[in-house]
Structure formats: structure tokens, C-alpha cells
Chains A and B, each alone.
Chain A
Amino acid sequence: MTASKKGLTRRQLLSRSVAAGASLVVGSGFVAGNSATWAMGVDHLQPATMATLIQMARDIYPHDHVADEFYAIAVKGYDSADSAPMIEAGIAALDTAAQGKGHASYVDTGWERDRVDILRGIENSGFFQTIRGGLVTGLYNQKDVWPLFGYEGESFSKGGYLDRGFDDINWI
């Protein structure tokens, strides 16, 4: 897990941060869920940039039963000296596109359909395709995400499903 609790109380954490969209807050050097159940330090990206990136990741692959933390983990790798310029530029362009449609910023665009409309406008860009392509493994190859979809993963160590329901369907 690259996201971690910071050892702050919810009140302490929220006192050091400002809201970024509906479910995220940003502070100096970190992004957190606004329920303060998780926080992630950022070293190379602006915290607000990371928050926007996390929102963008959710809007590309929205699963309402998957918490922000998993999207944060999926894009955490972009917080590097190599990636930061590309990400900062891409997110800046995303915000510009949002402003072009009358919103204050991407994360301040309240409705998902409006954010998706902004994303449709950039979906052929290298930035969008890099983020989308990276999420295919970054999000769906997290073993902690699999149970949220019912997927059981590795089964050899449990002896396969021969005695564990390979044919247990009861409605067909």
C-alpha cells in the first residue's frame, strides 16, 4: 500500500487541508480522503494536481463501490521526478478545458457527466491515453481491488475449485 494513514486525527488532518472536489482534500505535501481514512504523501507533484489526477482516474473508470484510495494507489507512480512535468502539464490543460466550459476547475466540476464531457474533449491526447492505459493494470491489477468485484484470484494453494464450487451454480 502506498497510501497510508498519517497518524493524524481526522480533525487534525482536515484542519491542515482544503477540499478538492467532493471526496478529496489536499494539504501541504499530501492528498487525503475527506473522511481522513487514508492519506498519501506527494513529493514531486502539487498535491492539488494529484487530487485532480485521482478524480480523473475515477471518472475514466468509475466504480462506485471502489474507494478513492485504490484510484490513488493506481496513479501514485506518477509522483516521480520523471513523470511530474508531463502530469502537471496534462492536468493544467484539463483545468483549462474545464474553465473553457465555465467551471472553476476540473475537480470543481460537480456533475460526473460534465467532467466526462471534458475528458471526451481530450481523449485522443497522449496524456489521456497514458493515464487510461496505465489504469488498466494500475487499478484492476491491485489484488485488494479484486474482492470488490467478486474475483477470487489465485486458487492453486487452496486446491482449485474441484471441491470448492466450480459447478455450484444453482439458477440455471
Chain B
Amino acid sequence: MAAPFELSDDSVVVIIGTGAGGGVLANELAQKGVSVVALEAGGRYLPEDYINDEWDSFGQLAWLDARTTSGDWRVAKDFSGLPAWIVKAVGGTTTHWAGASLRFQDHEWKAATNYGPVQGASLLDWPIDPREMDDYYTKAETKLGVTRTGDRAGLPGNNNFKVFEAGAKALGYTEVHTGRMAINSANNDDRLACQQTGFCFQGCKWGAKWSAAYTDIPRGEATGNLEVRERAHVLKIEHDDSGKVTGVVYADADGNQHLQKARIVCVAGNSIESPRLLLNSASSMFPDGLANSSGQVGRNYMRHMTGSVYAVFDKPVKMWRGTTMAGIIQDESRHDPSRGFVGGYELETLALGLPFMAAFLDPGGWGREFTTALDSYENMAGMWIVGEDMPQETNRITLNHDVKDQYGLPAPNVHFDDHPNDIAMRNHAYKQGMAVYDAVGATRVFPTPPYPSTHNLGTNRMSENPRDGVVNKHGQTHDIANLFISDGSQFTTGAAENPTLTIVALAIRQADFIAAEMGRNTL
């Protein structure tokens, strides 16, 4: 039940984007009695709408607006118009995510201190004490129903996990289990238990996986304090002569533009669109874009060091059956520079259906080397590599004035060069991942290159010193008190872990801060 607020109502908090950051923040504020208008570029899709078909689902959910790429990363060659595989829908990429919900390790909050100087990297410590996050992580785990936290049991292992686990143990790894997953192992919080359907990436048709689309969003709406406007694409944030933001201009489903006034604006459009919006909101007062006195808006783009390892065996695996990512090896997530790189990585089970395997196993590949791999699709097992990548100032989102989106605004260009540390870590992870499968009799292994980014981070980063980043420890922009960043773009560093749990924990924490400041009339 929507709570329609007037366009002219300048008492509302406007949140741009409804994913793990914006969707959670919207509900948390609404629960506290704060009036919220959430503007979502995409439409509303619920479990009954999701499609158990990779390309059809991609067409339904993916963010496909014009984007360009540059840099030496392989994605720029293989998928030049698709730097990221993220979602345009109410609930954002929480419809697509795999559900892996890991806390940062303590040392990762202070990467600059713990890793020391890394040439070419713009490492910083987060301006947050890890101990302060403990309670917020617990709240986030409870909200998401994360398995192996609280009293929630782990998920059962599927075929793909059993191969992965056996290989890991043969190799001597000890931290191997079915993951801490925001996927119910038993009915919980009005959501069903996992039915081992596969298709986690296509939206969970059982609702067993947590997504803001059918939890936080409707719960926020039920308070009467949250209005979600779908197919409302924000084009620009406006400000007054004092430099405070006053509202946002958005295009509705018919392309008609509206100005929604606001007391506070929170940007949560993912790490490509969020900095793009700040840059596209440049004015005579802020010629370099909003909140950009540091020049850091759009910089330090991180996407995690990723890759995959697939392996073929002489007998069937049927890896597509069951939970897509319920399997993890954590032994390599530690910081241990003796391996030749700083930071660490996780190995997580992963399966793709035949259509996506054809697209992603070896993009551009053809001939029998390629097709004999797919001939053994039924006998294939797979894992994903996700590790900490180095922030670099030159990896950044910029406005590409040569390419315009459907509203005539400059498209974002995503520039990324791998850092030598990223490459060293990836090579180590490929070697270990292939060894896992070799240990249980793989007849052929495939070190598969990165997919379009699902973890987009760091482009409005959090910093103690306003000179070094865009937002303070509350996600509040250093330059504009009533402008916040509420998504993964506020990440100072990426850590090795899948980012959603931390995005959710930070959103809960930010809601506490915003509500308290509003209560004190300081915002």
C-alpha cells in the first residue's frame, strides 16, 4: 500500500535505487516513521514473474542502458557494451545475487595499515571500527536469514558442492562448507526453504533467497511511510544557493520529467550509476559534479578480482541442480603476502546453464577446443573466484559525451586496468581452483576469464579525510550534509567477501544515523 507523497513535499527523504542499499534503507527509515519516496528506474517483478531461463531472465531484469568500457580488463574486449551484470528492477540486484553473505575480516577494514604501501594502489583504511560493525552485521544476518549464523542451519550440499568439497579436502583445505547464505535452509520469516531449483541468478521463484523486492520493500510500504515509484529514472539532483540538495528530476515510464522535492537525498544506484548521477548533476556552483571537491567521484572503481574454474570429469555432475553458490573454501581468504599478493580470495561453487556456459566459458572461443568442453557439460563442475582487488584512482566511471542514453544524457564509461596484485591473486586462485578439481580426477580444467561485473564498488568512497574520498563514515557526503551515498559505491576497499551483507549492514547503520540527525533537526 503506497503512501503517495506530493512532488512538492520537501519533508521527504528521497532514495534513488531500491537494491541492497536503497531498498533496505527505505524500509529501515519507514519503520522509524520517516517519510520516504524511493525512485526506482526499473519495474516491479515478484517471484511469480521470475523466469527459469537464463537469456529470457536477462532480458527481463538486466540493466541494459548504454554503457561503454575501456582499459585492459578482458571484459572490455569480450563484453564491451556490458561492463556489469546488474539489475534494473524494484529490489535491484538483490533479485539476481547468489545470496553469499560474508562478514569482512577485521584486517580488511584497515587495508592501508595492514597491507602497507602497494604501488599504484590508492588503498585507504575505512573510517569505521570493525567492532562497531558487529551488531550491524548481526542485524543484517537476521534480516537476511543467513545460514550458519544465529541458530540457522547450513544448506545441504548439491552435486557441484560434493565435488568441490571432496577436492578441497583432498588438497588439505579445512574451511569448507555450504556457505553462509541468505537462502533459507528452513522456512523462515515468511519465506520458504530452498527447493534446490537452481536459477538463483534469475530471481528465486520460491522466495527462499532474500531479496528486497519481496521483503523490505513491501514491509516498508506497509508502514504507510514509504512510497516506491517504479520506472522512475533519476536524471539529476538539484541544489539551492546554499549548496544543499533540494530534490531530484526524474523521468517516468512515459518519459515525462518530474521534480520531486526532498529534505535529504540518498543515492543508491550501484557503483556505475551513482557517480554518474553526481557527475551529470554538475552545476555552475559544482562544475565538477556534486560532492566532488575531492575529485574522487567515479574513481577507485573496484569489481573484485574474479574468474572461474570449470572442470570436466569422466562421470556426470549435473552442477546446475540445486543452489547455485552454496559452497565455499575460505582458507585462501587470509592476508598472507608470502603468496605473492596482498589480501585474499574466496572460492565459491558456481554453475551456469548451458546457454550462459556457451557465452561465458571462453568468450570468443570456437572450434573443437571449445565445443568438446560443452559436449561434457553434464560432467562439469564449477567454482567462482572472488577476491580483494586494489583500488586505483585511474579505474573510474566517467561521462562518455559521445554516447547518450535514452534520455540524451552522457553514458557512463567504465575504465578498468587490472592491478599487478589482482593478476597475481587471480593466477594463484586459478592454480588452486584447478588443483581442487585435479585432486578428484578432473580430466580437463578451464581457467575461465571474468564475467561482466556483479560486484561494483568504491566509486564514491568513504574516507576520514574529505580530501581522500566522497563520503564520511556515515555515507554522508563530505561536501553536502543532506546528500548521502547508500550503496556499494561508498566502499573504501572491497575486501574478499561478496559485498551485499556489508551493504545491508551499512544501510541499517545509516538509517540509524539519518533518523537520529533528523530528530535533532541537524538535517
Interface residues of A (CB under 8 A from B): 59-63, 65, 116, 123, 132, 136-137, 139-141, 145-146, 149-157, 159-162, 164-169, 171-172
Q: Are A151 and B196 in contact (CB under 8 A)?
A: no
A136-B358, A160-B196, A169-B159 given; A154·B321 CB < 8 A: no
Residues of B within 8 A of A137 (CB): 55, 355, 359
Q: Are A167 and B55 in contact (CB under 8 A)?
A: no
Residues of B within 8 A of A156 (CB): 52, 197, 199, 205-206
Interface centre among B158, B195, B322, B359 (most CB of A within 10 A): B195
Q: Are A160 and B197 in contact (CB under 8 A)?
A: yes
Q: Are B199 and A168 in contact (CB under 8 A)?
A: no
A140-B355, A151-B378 given; A172·B197 CB < 8 A: no
**Closest beta carbon of chain A to B347's beta carbon, Å:** 17
**Closest beta carbon of chain B to A130's beta carbon, Å:** 13
Is B301 positioned at the interface, with any CB of A under 8 Å from its CB?
Answer: no
Q: Are B378 and A149 in contact (CB under 8 A)?
A: yes
Is B157 positioned at the interface, with any CB of A under 8 Å from its CB?
Answer: yes
Question: What separation, in Å, do the CA atoms of A51 and B355 have in the docked complex?
Answer: 25
Q: Are A62 and B371 in contact (CB under 8 A)?
A: yes
A141-B55, A153-B353, A156-B205 given; A61·B156 CB < 8 A: no
Residues of B within 8 A of A155 (CB): 52, 197-199, 321
18 contacts between A and B (CB under 8 A): A62-B368, A62-B371, A137-B359, A149-B374, A152-B318, A152-B321, A154-B53, A155-B198, A159-B195, A160-B194, A160-B196, A161-B158, A161-B321, A162-B197, A166-B322, A167-B162, A169-B163, A169-B317
A141-B55, A151-B378 given; A166·B354 CB < 8 A: no
**Closest beta carbon of chain B to A113's beta carbon, Å:** 10
**Closest beta carbon of chain B to A100's beta carbon, Å:** 20
The chain B residue sitting closest to A120, CB to CB, is B367
B 319-333 to A, binary, CB cutoff 8 A, 1 in contact else 0: 011100000000000
Counting contact residues on chain B (CB < 8 A from A), the size range is 35 or more
Secondary structure dominating the interface of B: loop
B 443-467 to A, binary, CB cutoff 8 A, 1 in contact else 0: 0000000000000000000000000
Pick the contact of B375: A149, A168, A172 (CB < 8 A). A149
Residues of A within 8 A of B366 (CB): 60-61, 123, 132
Residues of B within 8 A of A145 (CB): 354
The chain A residue sitting closest to B208, CB to CB, is A160
Question: What separation, in Å, do the CA atoms of A33 and B159 have in the docked complex?
Answer: 39
Q: Are B378 and A162 in contact (CB under 8 A)?
A: no
Residues of B within 8 A of A65 (CB): 375
Pick the contact of A162: B53, B195, B317, B357 (CB < 8 A). B195
Q: Are A166 and B158 in contact (CB under 8 A)?
A: yes
Question: What separation, in Å, do the CA atoms of A141 and B51 have in the docked complex?
Answer: 14
**Closest beta carbon of chain A to B247's beta carbon, Å:** 42
Residues of A within 8 A of B364 (CB): 132
The chain A residue sitting closest to B163, CB to CB, is A172
Q: Are A150 and B318 in contact (CB under 8 A)?
A: yes
Across the A-B interface, the 7 shortest Cβ-Cβ residue pairs: A150-B378, A160-B197, A160-B195, A166-B322, A140-B358, A166-B196, A154-B52
Question: What separation, in Å, do the CA atoms of A150 and B318 have in the docked complex?
Answer: 8
Q: Are B320 and A152 in contact (CB under 8 A)?
A: yes
B360-380 contacts to A, CB under 8 A, are: 364, 366-368, 370-371, 374-375, 377-378
Is B315 positioned at the interface, with any CB of A under 8 Å from its CB?
Answer: yes
Given contacts A155-B321, A168-B318, 19 further A-B pairs with CB under 8 A are A62-B371, A63-B375, A136-B358, A136-B359, A139-B358, A140-B357, A149-B354, A149-B377, A149-B378, A151-B354, A152-B320, A153-B53, A154-B52, A160-B197, A161-B196, A167-B157, A167-B159, A171-B315, A172-B440
B 103-136 to A, binary, CB cutoff 8 A, 1 in contact else 0: 0000000000000000000000000000000000
Residues of B within 8 A of A172 (CB): 162-163, 166, 440
**Closest beta carbon of chain B to A159's beta carbon, Å:** 6
**Closest beta carbon of chain B to A34's beta carbon, Å:** 22
**Closest beta carbon of chain B to A101's beta carbon, Å:** 17
A60-B367, A140-B358, A150-B318 given; A166·B159 CB < 8 A: yes
Question: What separation, in Å, do the CA atoms of A39 and B158 have in the docked complex?
Answer: 43
A160-B198, A169-B317 given; A116·B354 CB < 8 A: no
